[in-house]
Structure 1
Amino acid sequence: MPLYKTITPNSQTTVKIWKISESYKDLFESVDLKPKSLERVLSMKSEMHQRGFLSVRKLLAEFGYSDKDLFYDENGKPHLKDGKQISITHSFNFSGVIVSDSVIGIDIEKQRDKISIISHKFIDYEFNYLDENDADYIKKLTAIWCVKESLYKLYATPGLSFKKHCLVIPFNIDDNETVAWIDYKTKKHRYNIQFLEFEGFACAYAIA
């Protein structure tokens, strides 16, 4: 399937989402990989991960980039050779890439009831406004996870904790936006967050 969705939060930032319906073979034959990426994708044990990896390269092409334009630093954060900021995500049959002049982070997650079992591992402050009886409880938990994951990718600092250092201000699912903070050591940073839902998935992206 071609590009699923394009979002332009501002004049310097673009989000592109891909719905992965192609086979591994079709994706593999349609992208040009540098040797390191080829070695990486061939070593993956899950075809779902392989397809996710390759679909990200399809998204790069939508931005006018190739696999050769992408590299990772020592913390695993992706970068583009032209200096633009980039963040990458994939979950099941969706992948997403955000490119901007600003520092950014993005995450996509499938909305599943099992997230409530692990919520205590990534939520602290947010329990003050969450209600387990809320019809949107699972959606809100998933959105919070996406927000914190996007902040983690944006900040790219070893030792940052979802639970201790990332705070998501109260929001409604219909709002499609909120504010989040990173409170880490002696520094506090405020971020504008936008989120959306599609086909049982949540996506959030943070822009510095």
Structure 2
Amino acid sequence: MPLYKTLTPNSYTTVKIWKITESYNQLKQGMFLRPECETRVLGMKSELHQRGFLSVRHLLAEFGYTDADLFYDENGKPHLKDGKHISITHSFIFSAVVVSDKEVGIDIEKQREKISIIAQKFVEYEFEYLDKTATDYINKLTVIWCIKESLYKLFATPGLSFFQHTLVIPFMMKDEETIAWIDYDNKKYRYQTTFLEFEGFTCALALPS
């Protein structure tokens, strides 16, 4: 079982990251899924997505939960039946689940040069401190994307825009943390975010500050 990493950013939050090295059949062995989840995973066209879905269920088990403990609301946000807060992500060969006593969001992304092509779609204020000629430009863009995706998952409000409603305070890669804000419907929300890099991937986590 390739539980890749466990993080505890504070006393009430735990992150577990899985490196997906198993086949679909290996991940599926001995696993019970609700009928609707069974239908969902069988309907996925990509085996990579199927394996990501199943690896998340293995991560739930690491926390002591089963597939039946997880449900989604009308906005697609995941919840746990015991009232704990949860966020889920997977990208290529990595997946992650965070469980916390507070609202939480998490995202993993593969670091790729092409993120610079779409940067103008999710970056506005951050261009004031980003240096496009810096060697860590792609790394910083990926951190910003992951943080904003984490905020989006946490806030789970229709109409929230990465470009218009979220911003990430200046940071250095060595900091592995920064502050982020959501400015939505004439209200401002402050979040503490942490991030890390591993094997060409970036992971970011957002919690209320």
Q: Taking structure 2 as the reference length, what is the TM-score of the superposition? A: 0.98
| Counterpart code for 1:59 | L
Give the secondary structure class of the aligned counterpart of 2:28.
Answer: helix
Q: Which residue of 2 aligns with 1:162?
A: 162
Q: Which residue of 1 aligns with 2:6?
A: 6
Note the alpha carbon deviations across 1:80-107, whole angstroms, 9 max, x for none. Answer: 0000000000000000000000000000
Structure 1 runs, 4 residues or longer, greater than 4 Å off: none
Q: Which residue of 2 aligns with 1:22?
A: 22
Q: Which residue of 2 aligns with 1:94?
A: 94
Distance in 1 (CA, whole Å) between partners of 2:100 and 2:31 is 23
Q: Which residue of 2 aligns with 1:47?
A: 47
- How many matched pairs? 208
Matches within 5 A, 1:196-207: 196-207=196-207
1:185: Cα distance to partner?
1.5
1:39: Cα distance to partner?
0.5
Give the secondary structure class of the aligned counterpart of 1:97.
Answer: strand
Distance in 2 (CA, whole Å) between partners of 1:102 and 1:34 is 27
| Counterpart code for 1:7 | L
Gaps of 5+ in 2: none
Give the secondary structure class of the aligned counterpart of 1:157.
Answer: coil
Give the secondary structure class of the aligned counterpart of 1:17.
Answer: strand
Matches within 5 A, 1:134-149: 134-149=134-149
Give the secondary structure class of the aligned counterpart of 2:118.
Answer: helix
1:70: Cα distance to partner?
0.2
Distance in 2 (CA, whole Å) between partners of 1:107 and 1:132 is 23
Q: Which residue of 2 aligns with 1:150?
A: 150
1:32: Cα distance to partner?
1.3
Q: Which residue of 1 aligns with 2:109?
A: 109
1:30: Cα distance to partner?
3.7
Note the alpha carbon deviations across 1:183-204, whole angstroms, 9 max, x for none. Answer: 0111100000000000000000
Distance in 1 (CA, whole Å) between partners of 2:107 and 2:31 is 23
1:65 correspondence with 2:65: yes
Note the alpha carbon deviations across 1:41-76, whole angstroms, 9 max, x for none. Answer: 000001110000000000000000000000000000
Q: Taking structure 1 as the reference length, what is the TM-score of the superposition? A: 0.99
Gaps of 5+ in 1: none
Distance in 2 (CA, whole Å) between partners of 1:38 and 1:204 is 29
